[in-house]
């Protein structure tokens, strides 16, 4: 069982917005602004999409945004595109772990 | 351009040894942590451990301590993940990635390799 809880799947139509949640505890998501999000496409290198809750690395579309409230972080993708279909993982620094901890992953389907 | 190039897929038998590699380029290898992440078939991502090539400081997740060995050769900007005796349960995709965050306590990965698929089967 993963340390952070994500929905197994979400879906949306092109052009719509979707939000993926990532629920942790007061030892990780709730305590630190050190949440990151990754996009995994089969056969490709995973890609960092968001770090430190809200920051986008250079080159990541501004359609991707991150936020946090209490013990839950969220990744929002606006203006969904077919290329956004992928698996998404959240991660957070944790006081109870040597490193970060991952969520279980969410499969995004673009209908 | 930062790149992490991993070695190719491996098929091994239980009990065999294996070392997979991750060659870094485009940045100062000795100044950043490199981590290894496991993804078992149909499962999520797991931190395995990290190494700081500058001084070979290595840290393992408790689940992987004693199960694998992480090393680095700074002369060729490469990190390694090694098993002395593989098990069927080691079948997984293994990613290397550059780890960043707080000084001495990296907590996220900004660049990743494409992964090395390791299959262990008799």
The pLDDT of residue A93: 93
Degrees (nearest 5) of the Cα angle B36, B40, B42?
A: 135
Report the DSSP pairing between strands A86-93 and A35-40: antiparallel
Q: Which residues on chain A are in Cβ contact (under 8 Å) with B113?
A: 45
Whether A36 has its CB under 8 Å from any CB of chain B: the answer is: yes
The pLDDT of residue B54: 94
Closest CB from A47, A89, A92 relative to B44? A89
The pLDDT of residue A69: 97
Q: Residue A1 above 70 pLDDT? A: no
Confidence band for B105, pLDDT divided at 50, 70 and 90: confident
d(CA A79, CA B60): 40
Whether A7 has its CB under 8 Å from any CB of chain B: the answer is: no
Q: B117: nearest CA in chain A?
A: A43
Q: Residue A3 above 90 pLDDT? A: no
d(CA A84, CA A93): 26
d(CA A49, CA A65): 9
Per the CB < 8 A criterion, the answer to whether B72 and B63 are in contact is no
The pLDDT of residue A15: 97
Q: Residue A104 above 80 pLDDT? A: yes
Cα dist from A94 to A57, A69, A98, B9, B40, whole Å: 22, 16, 8, 32, 22
Report the DSSP pairing between strands B33-39 and B18-25: unpaired
d(CA B4, CA B27): 10
Per the CB < 8 A criterion, the answer to whether A49 and A22 are in contact is no
Per residue in A53-96, pLDDT (tens digit) is 999 999 999 999 999 999 999 999 999 999 999 999 999 998 88
Task: Inspect the interface and report whether the beta carbons of A48 and B109 lie closer than 8 Å.
Answer: yes
The pLDDT of residue A2: 66
Other CB atoms within a 10 A radius of the CB of residue A78 amount to 15
Whether A88 has its CB under 8 Å from any CB of chain B: the answer is: no
Whether A89 has its CB under 8 Å from any CB of chain B: the answer is: yes
d(CA A21, CA A15): 20
């Amino acid at each position: 069982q993963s340390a952070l809880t994500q929905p197994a799947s979400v879906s949306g139509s092109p052009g719509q917005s979707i939000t993926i949640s990532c629920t942790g505890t007061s030892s990780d998501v709730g305590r630190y602004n050190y949440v990151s999000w990754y996009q995994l496409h089969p056969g490709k290198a995973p890609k960092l999409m968001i770090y430190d809750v809200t920051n986008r690395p250079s080159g990541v579309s501004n359609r991707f945004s991150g936020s946090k409230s209490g013990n839950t972080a969220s990744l929002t993708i606006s203006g969904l595109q077919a290329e956004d279909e992928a698996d998404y993982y959240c991660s957070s620094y944790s006081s109870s772990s040597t490193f970060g901890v991952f969520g279980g992953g969410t499969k995004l389907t673009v209908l | 351009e930062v790149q992490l190039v991993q070695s190719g897929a491996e098929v091994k038998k239980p009990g065999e040894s294996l070392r997979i590699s991750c060659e870094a380029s485009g940045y100062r290898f000795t100044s950043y942590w490199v981590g290894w992440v496991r993804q078992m078939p149909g499962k999520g991502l797991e931190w395995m451990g990290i190494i700081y090539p500058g001084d070979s400081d290595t840290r393992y997740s408790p689940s992987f301590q004693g199960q694998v060995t992480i090393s680095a050769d700074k002369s060729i900007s490469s990190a390694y993940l090694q098993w002395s005796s593989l098990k069927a349960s080691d079948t997984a995709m293994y990613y290397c990635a550059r780890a960043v965050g707080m000084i001495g306590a990296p907590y996220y990965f900004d660049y990743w390799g494409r992964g090395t698929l390791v299959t262990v089967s008799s």
